[in-house]
């Protein structure tokens, strides 16, 4: 009996420490964010800019996203793979979507973000609501239909790591679609098959053509799929700089790189 009570006490203590550590991490993150905001405001004022309150900055950010939802380059995440993913993969999708939205908010030229084949009452949507604060108020398009149903009159391009043709330019007259498939056991060709079934063209990010200097063609990771947030960050960087090398150099994950060993 005493051992049982002691075990319960130990477990409760561990939980308390865990929650305490979590609260500490969140507090530190808030402090770091506040410090970054303060530094940003200081630089802005030093450059002769006008002070804008946090509330006003949030309002302006939402307004900019709302405008870009209509006029920006359209980027869709295809949620038709929801039924093929586990609860853990749903959670990873939601985490990546949070990062996608965060990166888009900060971008110089935000994308017009859309979720297609999206079931608002499905498990994926439920997970996104749990993981992404204010998900239902995101300035993105929520569509039950497929990209070909939603954007009937526009050219649609499906991004697939298995496509043979590279994406050489991004224009506002095309709609770009990426598969929202978080697959821990990657099955090649899924997004390519989807593009073929929809009867639309497919392209891949031009990693092989514009790779950073330390990217190796022998690196087996070169053919693996990228997380959604990395794809979006690369596209946003390209829209800002109009240079694939810069975009890939800044945002391509380290697993795509081969350490350069200098000769002694």
Percent of the chain scored above 70 by pLDDT?
76
**pLDDT above 50 (res 264):** no
Range from 49-53, 59-63, 135-139 that averages highest in pLDDT: 135-139
Whether residue 117 contacts residue 145, with contact meaning beta carbons closer than 8 Å, is answered with yes
More confident residue, 48 or 77: 77
Q: What is the mean pLDDT of residues 9-16?
A: 58
Pick one of 3.40.50.970, 3.40.1280.30, 3.30.70.1450, 3.30.360.10 as the CATH number of 72-256.
3.40.1280.30
Q: What is the mean pLDDT of residues 229-247?
A: 95
What pLDDT shows up at residue 11?
A: 55
- State how far the Cα of 212 lies from the Cα of 237, in Å rounded to an integer: 14
**pLDDT above 90 (res 177):** yes
Provide the 3-class DSSP secondary structure of residue 113: strand
- State how far the Cα of 248 lies from the Cα of 17, in Å rounded to an integer: 40
- State how far the Cα of 32 lies from the Cα of 25, in Å rounded to an integer: 10
Q: Which of 9-18, 76-85, 180-189, 244-253 has the lowest mean pLDDT?
A: 9-18
What pLDDT shows up at residue 155?
A: 96
CA 28 to chain centre: 24
Residue of 158, 252, 256, 160 lying closest to 204 (CA atoms): 160
CA 210 to chain centre: 21
**pLDDT above 90 (res 138):** yes
- Average pLDDT over the chain, rounded to an integer: 83
Domain ranges of the chain: 72-256
Contacts of 172 by beta carbon, 8 Å cutoff, 6+ apart: 71, 72, 73, 74
pTM check: above 0.75? yes
**pLDDT above 80 (res 2):** no
What pLDDT shows up at residue 223?
A: 47
Residue of 199, 203, 65 lying closest to 141 (CA atoms): 65
Whether residue 176 contacts residue 75, with contact meaning beta carbons closer than 8 Å, is answered with yes
More confident residue, 42 or 105: 105
In which band, very low, low, confident or very high, does the pLDDT at 24 lie, cut at 50, 70 and 90?
confident
Residue of 77, 14, 49 lying closest to 227 (CA atoms): 77
Whether residue 176 contacts residue 235, with contact meaning beta carbons closer than 8 Å, is answered with yes
- State how far the Cα of 225 lies from the Cα of 246, in Å rounded to an integer: 20
Strand order in the sheet with 141-142: 141-142, 112-116, 74-78, 174-179, 155-159, 201-203
What pLDDT shows up at residue 93?
A: 96
**pLDDT above 60 (res 90):** yes
Whether residue 225 contacts residue 186, with contact meaning beta carbons closer than 8 Å, is answered with yes
- State how far the Cα of 43 lies from the Cα of 48, in Å rounded to an integer: 9
The DSSP letter of residue 173 is: T
């Amino acid at each position: 009996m005493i051992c049982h009570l002691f075990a319960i006490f130990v477990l409760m203590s561990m939980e308390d420490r865990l929650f305490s550590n979590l609260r500490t991490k969140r507090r530190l993150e808030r402090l770091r964010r506040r410090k970054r905001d303060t530094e940003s405001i200081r630089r802005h004022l030093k450059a002769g800019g006008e002070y804008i309150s946090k509330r006003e900055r949030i309002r302006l950010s939402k307004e900019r996203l709302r405008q870009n939802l209509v006029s920006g380059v359209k980027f869709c995440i295809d949620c038709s793979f929801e039924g093929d993913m586990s609860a853990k993969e749903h959670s990873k999708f939601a985490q990546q979507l949070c990062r996608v939205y965060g990166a888009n908010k900060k971008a110089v030229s935000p994308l017009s973000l859309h979720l297609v084949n999206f079931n608002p009452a499905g498990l994926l949507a439920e997970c996104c609501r749990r993981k992404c604060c204010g998900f239902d108020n995101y300035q993105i398009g929520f569509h039950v239909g497929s990209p070909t149903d939603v954007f009937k009159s526009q050219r649609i391009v499906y991004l697939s790591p298995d496509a043979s043709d590279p994406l050489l330019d991004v224009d506002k007259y095309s709609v770009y679609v990426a598969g929202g498939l978080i697959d821990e056991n990657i099955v090649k060709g899924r997004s390519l098959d989807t593009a073929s079934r929809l009867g639309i063209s497919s392209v891949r990010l031009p990693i092989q053509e514009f790779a950073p200097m330390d990217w190796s063609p022998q690196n087996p990771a070169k053919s693996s799929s990228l997380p959604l947030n990395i794809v979006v960050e690369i596209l946003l960087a390209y829209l800002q700089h109009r240079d694939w090398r810069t975009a890939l150099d800044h945002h391509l994950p380290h697993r795509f790189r081969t350490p350069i060993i200098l000769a002694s």
